[in-house]
Chains A and B, each alone.
Chain A
Amino acid sequence: MNDEMEEIIQEFITEAEESLDRIEPRFVELEQKGQDTNLINDIFRSMHTIKGAAGFLGFQLIVDVAHAAENIMKKLRDNEISLSKSLMDVILESIDMLRLLLIHIKEKDGVEENVAPLVQELGKALKAAMSNLNNKEQAGISVKPDIRAEQSSKASKESESISPESASEKPLNKVNVAESAKVTENAQETSKSSQITQIAEELSQIPEIAKTTINDSIKNSESTQAATDGEQKPNEMIQAAKDNVQKAQNLRVDVNRIDKVMDLAGEVVLVRNRLLNISNYFDMKYTDDQMTEILMEAVSFLDRITSDMQIAVMKMRMQPIQKVLSKFPRLVRDISASVNKDVELQIFGEGTEVDKTVIEHIGDPMTHILRNSIDHAIEPAEERIAKGKPSKGKIVINTYQRGTQIVVEITDDGKGMDLNKLKKKAIEKGLLTEEEAQKMSDKDAIDIIFMPGFSTKEVATELSGRGVGMDVVKTNISLLNGYVEVSTEKDVGTTFKISIPLTLAIIQALMVEVNGVKYAIPLSPIEETLKVSKKDINNITGQNVIVIRDNICPLFDLSSILGFGSNGNNDDLDFKYLIVISMGDRRFCIAVDKLVGQEEVVIKTLNGMDTTSSFVLGATITGDGKVVFILDVTGMSRNLMELTRA
């Protein structure tokens, strides 16, 4: 296979996967809304595009599945059958199959799935739905009395419908012959609007032809519209085609290339930091030299440009969070069906843009939370009715940006957490002692769910409840340098609030020094820094604390956190610098020897090292070429808080 072909296939896979990602939530929407023509058309178009491109590239299995699914969509669109759950199940199954087939193509593993049973099932489902409708009609219930009339009117329009078809076929030469044959074949049985659907769709696949052809087809469709007056669809279709032309201005770039640019931009930042150091040195040494001034000027210019470039590169990696959210409607549908609950999912703020890394890592924790909410929190319908709630459970995902953080809130209207029950379970499992539980605040009690090896359900279900889920949530999110807060109210519901920094590649950090070694602390969780005298530090039962504006705040020495022990002569210092960290609603102080300053640092990942106990989330290289660790405050917070509790 040559490179060009390879590229086309790659393009096809990406596009097909994107289409599937896009239409999957639409199915669920369709199921809720019932026969929505716009939705059906959209799905139909996407299916058709996939089928067309797969046919062109010779992926027959995809063609078979997509064709069978498309047939059902067509009948749905023409109101010849109505939507049912079994029909939806089999269509969703076909989406899964298409995904699987795409994966096989991508992996080039040569595995051939047997699609025949599925295609048969699709056919059967269609037939069942058809006969269902016929029965109804014969029984006189007649859901759509005008269907037959409509069909005959369509038939009468067939002759006219040839003209727009042939008029816009010329620019379609690029589309393979088999495909246009299919178009004509379809033309025999479908209405005019669907033809225009297809034409517009094909046009949108060929960005090179650009607007002129689209305009042609607009003219065509306008004339057709005049002829078939009252038909709204063509306009919408053309709008869709126009949208697609707009989209063509986007450039699809291999993610590796962007990452490469990102890396290089990071290197430039490092060199800039070095240059700043050097120029400061010259500035101090040769203050009167004119060249020094010129050097300073050039360096500060470079400084500005570099910052701008960083932001620009960072933006290149930003994507709407919708990419992750779009899989949830289906997930919620499937999970709630499997536990016999009726749950509605509402999503807000799917346009919020976040870094690619966030997109990649936030899906799993969110899935865990959703599963837990459906499985544990949302009550069965009878119970809900008894409590005076609507029988249908509701989960809301809300995403928004707050400062430099992205916030994802997952709220359910379930039974809420029973804190006493949580405590009791934790004691039973030996995760807590009776005494600890007594002293525990409500906030800490909620956090029990994040303890490794904890699960409240008596019987572990297939979905959740093996007691690993929530622990994983916390770990995954702290990997992203973020944190989770939970609030819950009995019989009203529970909210999980995930806060994550917008980007992970470059962060603002406070440089500190302990025992002569520099460390970087991410700026976002830092509330304030203080210089305190030693006598301000109190010791309560072995734990150092300090009173800040009437609030008692636990205090930890950074050098002992990092396991380097306390350096003797540091204890002689009269003053300590404290960094007040606030994670969600927890506060603690870290004591350091020196505050060096604020710096923009590039996070370098540490490969080949187990850093789970190091409280290090990465490293950076400073202006003088030294490696400085970036401290993982989230991990520290968790560990330290456990210490104080114990």
Chain B
Amino acid sequence: MGNTMVSEQVLQLVTFTLEKEEYAVNILNVQEINRITEITRVPNAPDYVEGVINLRGKVIPVINLRKKFGLYNKDTDDSSRVIIMDIHGVTYGLVVDSVSEVLRIPADIVEPPPPMASSMSSMFIKGIAKLENRLIILIDIDGLMGGA
């Protein structure tokens, strides 16, 4: 009991890729990870709203993270996934290029995001985890959905 609380806090993350970067969200928010199914477009919606999908009888909105982050658009392929997230009781899907792994990292290796002035997407970044040979961008889910 409580081994995660002993000396340092451990973060459990689900990591995924967009373009060449690696991103992560807290595993507690992740409900499931699905392949891309048929997405119905929403009329007059912002372009980053990819549409809605039928998740076992529930209709949930799906956000295209590439568009949300202002990256150039790319068609979905075999490695594309929808990460189903539960954020304050509301279910969302996030379209990402691919899902990599579940990662446990100590909370203290996460650094606050660098001040990137003109970057819109910095609003959605909670911090950056510095691992030995890579950087992982932690997404601020509340910020992301607050703007959605």
Contacts and interface: CB of A to CB of B under 8 A. Distances in A.
Q: Do A and B bind each other?
A: yes
Given A608-B92, A609-B49, A614-B45, A629 B57 contact: no
Q: Which of B41, B59, B87, B148 has the most CB of A within 10 A?
A: B59
Interface string A423-460: 00000000000000000000000000000000000000
A34 interface: no
Given A606-B52, A608-B90, A609-B49, A626 B59 contact: no
A419 interface: no
B21 interface: no
Contact of B90 (A267, A607, A611): A607
A619 interface: yes
Interface SS majority for chain B:
strand
Interface string B84-117: 0001001110000000000000000000000000
Contacts of B61: 606-609
A267 B57 contact: yes
B148 A517 contact: no
Given A626-B38, A627-B53, A607 B43 contact: no
B123 interface: no
Given A604-B59, A609-B61, A619-B52, A629 B40 contact: yes
A501 B53 CA distance: 27
A626 B59 CA distance: 10
B44 interface: yes
B33 interface: no
A626 B60 contact: no
A604 B54 CA distance: 10
Contacts of A232: none
Contacts of B45: 609-611, 613-614
A606 B91 contact: no
Interface in A18-49: none
Contacts of B148: 608-610
Contacts of A606: 52, 59, 61
B54 A621 contact: yes
B60 A608 contact: yes
B59 A613 contact: no
Contact of A621 (B42, B57, B91): B57
A296 interface: no
A615 B40 contact: no
A270 interface: yes
B145 A621 contact: no
B59 A616 contact: no
B54 A626 contact: yes
A564 interface: yes
Contact of B43 (A266, A608, A615): A615
Interface string A583-622: 0000000000000000000001111111101111001010
A628 interface: yes
Contacts of B60: 607-608
Interface of B: 38, 40-45, 49, 51-54, 57-61, 87, 90-92, 145, 148
14 contacts: A562-B43, A563-B43, A563-B44, A604-B57, A606-B59, A607-B60, A607-B61, A608-B61, A608-B87, A613-B45, A614-B43, A625-B38, A627-B51, A629-B43
